[in-house]
Structure 1
């Protein structure tokens, strides 16, 4: 940063020291909690010692948010909360779970391979992503959460699970000497009904407890005719205060939630793919073909007379049933401080969803494209009395994919620290994880539905063939599975690490670390074979891959690698610090990668420089970064199979978080990033070199601007705020053929913390009802446009929530 900019910051800092403080709240009003994001706050994520360090001392980028800030963001899910973090792109258009999360140029093809989720500093599942699973699916926000810390890059390759991308650490509330609690009721768009509760307090001398949870049901913004989200969660924590500021915490969380999973729908594209509009009669903001008729699905899956059937409930969607239990210990032993964080998790994570791949057509066009020697055909409705389907009716092939993953995970992070002198602290640590996944997949199972809100299944019979009439769809089913899988995987990771923090002077703090890790994976896999389900050539619908053939393959691999990091933080003035960091990290191959023959370890080198400052007048966090990847694995599941590639990427960019408080109660906040991320060494085949193409789904620019105004009265504290969000243009595919156009949204809210303990919160999202998509047609390898129609997964339309709570 130039000396002129530093001088300006120093001048503003000096002026801010003389600024009058904001007026105190009225005596009868409850004082709002201090915002956690202030640089004086202590952070624990990404630090070697359990006691953490001040944010201004940190030589890395970290975003923090307290309970109030979390609620102001009105997140639709735990992943959606990450929209407040610069350098992170979040796709929540699938609903509550199954979100795609991209981190500052880290290349991926879906889910969240570069984002780890923690609870109280312990990783919830030992690896961040598997096929049809990403870490945020195991977490739901509620009033038991005190704050969140989101680390990007920095020392992350050294600690916990060693993910070099982003670490999201949710920290639960603990009981204190003064009892506190609350009850909150929420309603909103889509017949939302939700209840949250929380209580914490002292149990006896040295013992404290807290518990709480939620239950929620909603039809959703896209009305599926059944609850698109329904379920709840219960959490509890018991804390024992020990001598020398030590602490023992035991906690548990039980989650049972069912969430409909939404996939791309038809849209109209124009202006070379830069403009999107709703498909006629199918509003992009609210429409879904999912409904009661497509909820309970039975598809023919195993051969026989009659063929065996698999039954699934699309209302179970991409939900989760999970139990999580953890123990944290911080204790002083002589000159040493020990910290141990461990947890165990078990649960079932299904994916029952309607996957789209082909653009819609009229029924007549669909029949003409599938004659197979016939001269014509007709369609009838499967349910509700049948009846003929007009040839001009719009129809859409949709596939019932059924994936069930039974997950188990145990993680343990042990650290021991000692002050070698008053300026130097050495930390030694060990990390261990044991995790498994039992998979049962059936991909394909295509049906034909009308393209309308809450569609109807269609049967088609082909006529005019000399061999007789042909059944093209039976009970709506057009074809069987194209890929079936039964698999059992187990993995174990063991790591040893060392870190050192040295306060070289009052202004300079230096730290470094090294980590050695070994991974061992074993798995047994049963593949699929192609059969005709009933052996009848006149039932064309069921030809294809449809049953596991019983043959088993195995995967077994052991890998080891070393990562390291070094950083420094220097105080330019008492209120301004600058930092620099470089690290080398990696990611071992996953279960699915090994199954697909992708055995390589991905490596990444990161370089970061930044400046941080905070006064009463303003705060600023500015970070520049550069990433260099090699050995990246790519997997694309199309409508007919799985495509894999290996490549590299390079990315550079700038992240910004800033706030200005020009008047008492008024705050103007901006977050955003500029990113230039491109693939490297990505030659797929003759005439197909994708080197230099932009990394998918990550815009060159995105930002959020939030003005807010808070004022105090005798009745309580009130705040009004709004957020303008801009997401730049992106590409959906590595070929850079499918454009995801830029879009913007407007959110707003009003909060009242009344003196009598009642809280009222009104929030609205996407108030302008904008159309924006976060995903295109990932099931094809082309531009995916025909006659101006394109499949995309749009953001949800305008929605509002009102919650009323009582706190004490």
Structure 2
């Protein structure tokens, strides 16, 4: 296995090459690519007269108007379709993981993975996804769905992806320390199209298509989408991903602007991979790989294709739902939108509006506690079984719903619980943004001022049922019944009910409606050529109105002879929730370009995240605010294809709010904790092309994410001593390096490249007692292009390196009881994809 020192050595090598690049770059005639022009942005030449390079990409996200990447005073990446194709990500989160400052865990499946921006200690926190400048759903997370890669899918209708890390993100989006903006294809006078077929050795088949062109005078169209079927990276015993998306738009140009009407529809199933045990917790040297394969094993199983979950309604009537684990996360929504932009004698008026309505149906098998010795687990129920059934001699296991005995000793000797979660949500979100931008000269430089207002009306429902089951410790496990026997072997009763464990049913029903309005302003002051000062402020007003039904536990009298005879029930009463929070965000940045090739910038920002609308889904809600102060300084150098962007950042979270297990009750209940956290680091984004046929690119982050002490606001003397500890699941080093060789012969073009991805040591818990070891993966790719045809082969983790992510978040707050994690989401094993593309 490659060592972390190798990753660090690669980082140093990339920096050394960039430092040496300028003289070489100037000696290569025609070395710069064409400018990437933003959709709906003016196609202007770069002020320095150059014709390309990463510094000359035209960007629109986080900016008053379209401008070069090199000219902005913050870190932004722009990824074209060609960039994304070369990176060949397995998922949207995988794509973001190739950028500096964004640490990802892509082991959960194709969608709704974990992204963490600059050490922010929450999953997906403060990273806002947009489509053409607007979110599809206002908040980061709805109820069991995410408005990021949970709702957004990359396909050929995405012209490019712009990603802002820090910078003015708090002014141009709510709750934002970063923005991922998916800019869609627009039609032009020239018809163009593309079709793409992708085949994977995991049983994956995908087709993408896009077509755009003129409809009439100054009117254009674009339409495209994808269909995909996949058995999955892990063997569920049923298909993993199936579904697709279609997006379309019509655009009409005026003499002073344009109007664009958009629509998209998504209908997609995605199975969720949860953590698995990889070693015996009582004997970590005992690998569970013989029964649960590290690379392909999962607790998902056909045993959960027909699950019945029961509860009692407010009238005392028993209700039940039949669920299918293969349904996975089934996201269905439609969105319509409109964009308008007009220039009225130097006053740029822009309006964006969108409406989304959909439903998310979620079925997943969640990890809970560590596997247990089968004998120890059975004996823990002996007293309760004896009390219920009389003289119990012993307990034994059978396959649930049968009389067929199961002997755990014939395998690992372990059994474990797992929780089936069924959660449904209907949701809607309507949002609009109106802004006016005007540039004017003064006696001391010029000002480019943008003022605007944003509003959103949104909401979603909650409907959840949980049930814990007893299962084998093996891939595609069977559910088990724990049976009580007399001395002569007579069945006296069962601890479980068709695999379901006692007292584990959970029920939640609720609804929330929200509205918010924000006003914002930003001024970019060009003091002299190359010296720019910009600052902005955003104030937001929210209003939430919601409820969650109260529940209780009752006995299901229809279930006899089992300890698992209780269900959750509605009481008929509900907790009403109303809240009207306000927050203010601001930013100020200074940029100075020493020349057309070198520049530097600095920035300070403040981000406030109010209590979310989902706070209403709690019978005892605890509204919390999280605030972050961000400081960053950066340097930038751009010479055609050679560039270096390096940003140092310091972010302080104060207060940092969360709900953590209570140390005084052996961590069995959660209580609120408040504290501080600090994340600081350096992000490097670089590309070196000393000759036309060879380049090295890299995105590397060196970080130091640390907690300060946490305390319980209801009992300030109760603290968790985590000062100086590494933030959970945040490494101090991560990134990737990609060397590429390019050859041409007549009409034939060849690209051969490799990738090295690396992640440093992490911890699963606050006290840093259980480690997630550092890991590296190696990938390789090959592209062959002839005319309008292209063929690509890409392989990931081709050396089958081991790496463990996440841990087991249901029970890891204070470690797994082992020095190295024995429970988590392993990396996927070696896999290959084959892509055939035709353009016209």
State the 1:350 CA deviation.
2.6
Structure 2 residue aligned with 1:578: 600
Contact map agreement 2:534 2:589 (CA 8 A) in 1? yes
Counterparts of 2:831 and 2:227 in 1: how far apart (Å)? 20
Deviations 1:173-223 (A, max 9, x none): 111111111222211122111111111111111011010111111111212
Deviates more, 1:673-682 or 1:7-16: 7-16
Deviation digits for residues 443-487 of structure 1 (CA, Å, limit 9, x no counterpart): 3x1112222222212222112399982311222112354532111
Q: Does 1:464 align with 2:475?
A: no
**TM-score, normalised by the number of residues in structure 2:** 0.88
Tell me, in whole angstroms, the C-alpha distance in 2 between the residues paired with 1:14 and 1:769: 40
Q: Check conservation: 1:193, 1:218, Cα contact below 8 A.
A: yes
Q: Corresponding residue for 1:101?
A: 115
Q: For 2:820 and 2:679, how far apart are their aligned partners in 1?
A: 33
Query: Relative to 1, partners in 2 of residues 1:206 and 1:228: Cα closer, same or farther, differing over 3 Å?
Result: same
Q: CA deviation at 1:537?
A: 6.7
In structure 2, relative to structure 1, the CA distance for the partners of 1:103 and 1:278 (3 Å cut) is farther
1:114–1:54 distance in 2 versus 1, CA, 3 Å: same
Deviations 1:507-561 (A, max 9, x none): 2111111111111111111132122233757411234x62232220011111222
Q: Which residue of 1 aligns with 2:462?
A: 439
Report the CA distance between 1:666 and its aligned residue.
0.8
1:747 aligns with 2:779: yes
Query: How far apart, in 2, do the equivalents of 1:401 and 1:344 lie?
Result: 29
Pairwise CA distance, 1:323 = 0.8
- With 16-25 and 196-205 compared, the bigger mean Cα shift is at 16-25
Aligned to 2:720: 688
Q: Is contact 2:480-2:498 (8 Å) kept?
A: yes
User: 1:704-736: CA deviations, max 9, x gaps?
Assistant: 110011222223322111110110111223233
Partner of 2:167: 154
**Distance in 1 (alpha carbons) for counterparts of 2:52 and 2:62:** 17
| CA deviation map 1:479-501 (0-9, x unaligned) | 35453211111111111111111
8 Å Cα contact 2:408-2:415 kept in structure 1: no
Report Cα offsets for 1:16-70 as digits up to 9, x if no partner.
3233345999xxxxxxxx9997111111000123xx1111110001111110111
1:85 paired residue number: 99
1:210-609 superposed matches below 5 A: 210-244=222-256, 246-268=257-279, 279-302=289-312, 308-361=319-372, 363-372=374-383, 373=386, 374-382=392-400, 387-392=404-409, 393=411, 394-421=414-441, 423-443=446-466, 445-464=467-486, 469-479=492-502, 481-534=504-557, 538-543=561-566, 546-593=568-615, 595=618, 597-609=621-633
State how 1:646-795 maps to structure 2 within 5 Å. Answer: 646-684=674-712, 686=718, 688-755=720-787, 757-780=788-811, 781-785=813-817, 790-795=822-827
Q: How big is the shift at 1:334?
A: 2.9
- Partners of 1:36 and 1:774 lie apart in 2 by 39
Cα 1:536–1:483 change in 2 (3 A) is closer
The answer to which of 340-349 and 417-426 deviates more is: 417-426
How far apart are residue 687 of structure 1 and its match?
Answer: 6.0
Decide whether the 8 Å contact of 2:398 with 2:482 is kept in 1: yes
Q: Alpha carbons of 1:224 and 1:102: their partners in 2 closer, same or farther (altered >3 Å)?
A: same
Q: Per-residue deviation at 1:797?
A: 1.4
1:29 corresponds to which residue? Answer: none
Alpha-carbon RMSD across the aligned residues, in angstroms, is 3.0
Find the aligned partners of 2:832 and 2:178 in 1 and give their Cα distance: 30
The TM-score normalised by the length of structure 1 is 0.91
Q: Residue 264 of structure 1: CA displacement?
A: 0.9
Change (3 A) 1:85 1:10: closer
Relative to structure 1, is the Cα distance of residues 534 and 645 closer, same or farther in structure 2, using a 3 angstrom cutoff?
farther
CA contact (8 A) 1:185 1:194 kept: yes
The answer to whether the Cα contact below 8 Å between 2:143 and 2:461 also exists between their aligned partners in 1 is: no
Q: Does 1:626 align with 2:650?
A: yes
- Counterpart position of 2:182: 170
Distance 2:32 2:113 in 1: 42
Find 2:61's aligned residue among 45, 59, 63: 45
Q: Which moved more, 1:464-473 or 1:727-736?
A: 464-473
Q: Retained in 1: the 8 A contact 2:18–2:687?
A: no
Paired residues of 1:300 and 1:533 also in contact (CA < 8 A): no
SS of residue matched to 1:134? coil
What 5-or-longer segments of structure 2 have no aligned partner? 1-14, 35-49, 387-391
Question: CA–CA distance in 2 between the matches of 1:674 and 1:276?
Answer: 34
For the structure 1 residues 495 and 22, does the alpha-carbon distance in structure 2 shift closer, same or farther, using more than 3 Å as the test?
closer
Give the superposition deviation at 1:432. 0.5
Distance 1:788 1:660, change over 3 A: closer
Say if 1:198 and 1:11 are closer, same or farther in 2 by CA, change over 3 A.
closer
Which residues of 2 match residues 49-60 of structure 1 at below 5 A? 49=65, 52-60=66-74
Q: Per the alignment, do residues 15 and 81 of structure 1 end up closer, same or farther by CA in structure 2, a change over 3 Å counting?
A: closer
Change (3 A) 1:23 1:38: closer
Q: Indicate the SS of the match to 2:594.
A: strand
What SS is found at the alignment partner of 1:70? helix
| Map of 2:89 onto structure 1 | 75
